[in-house]
Amino acid sequence: MLRPIGIFALITCTLGVDSFHADAVAQQNEARVKREVISRTEPFYPTIARRARLTGAVRLQVKVTPDGRPASITVLGGNPFFVKAGMEATAKWRWVRASGDTEELVQLTFQNP
């Protein structure tokens, strides 16, 4: 069993790590360049999610090449039922051209039709 001082230390360490992570994410977002999407494919609503009347969202980080095509897609979070559909749709997106690679954040929201 943890003593009161151990619990205090655990809570303090946890809070300190979370606030540091939030600051690091905020700094990364400020440095990120937002490119305009010029071609967007809407994701397919998964059949099992439709039958279960599920709604949700998926957050993706997309590395975009200078010619505007996705080079890689990383899942940052969201409902697992929608991840595959979100990644497949985003892989077909196109952004405006740029002088170098950029990291773009994409959030897709799935509402039961």
Please state the domain extents for the chain: 1-31, 34-110
Encoded amino acid at 33, one letter: V
Q: What are phi and psi of 82, to 5 degrees?
A: -110, -5
Residues 6+ apart with CB under 8 A from 83: 58, 75
pTM of the model: 0.69
The CATH architecture one would assign to domain 34-110 is 2-Layer Sandwich (3.30)
- Name the residue among 89, 23, 39, 91 with its Cα closest to residue 63: 91
Q: Which two tokens stand for residue 71?
A: 């080079």
Instruction: Give pLDDT tens digits for 15-67.
Output: 333 333 333 333 333 335 589 999 999 999 999 999 999 999 999 999 999 99
Q: Are 56 and 110 in contact (CB under 8 A)?
A: yes
Instruction: Give pLDDT tens digits for 11-26.
Output: 333 333 333 333 333 3
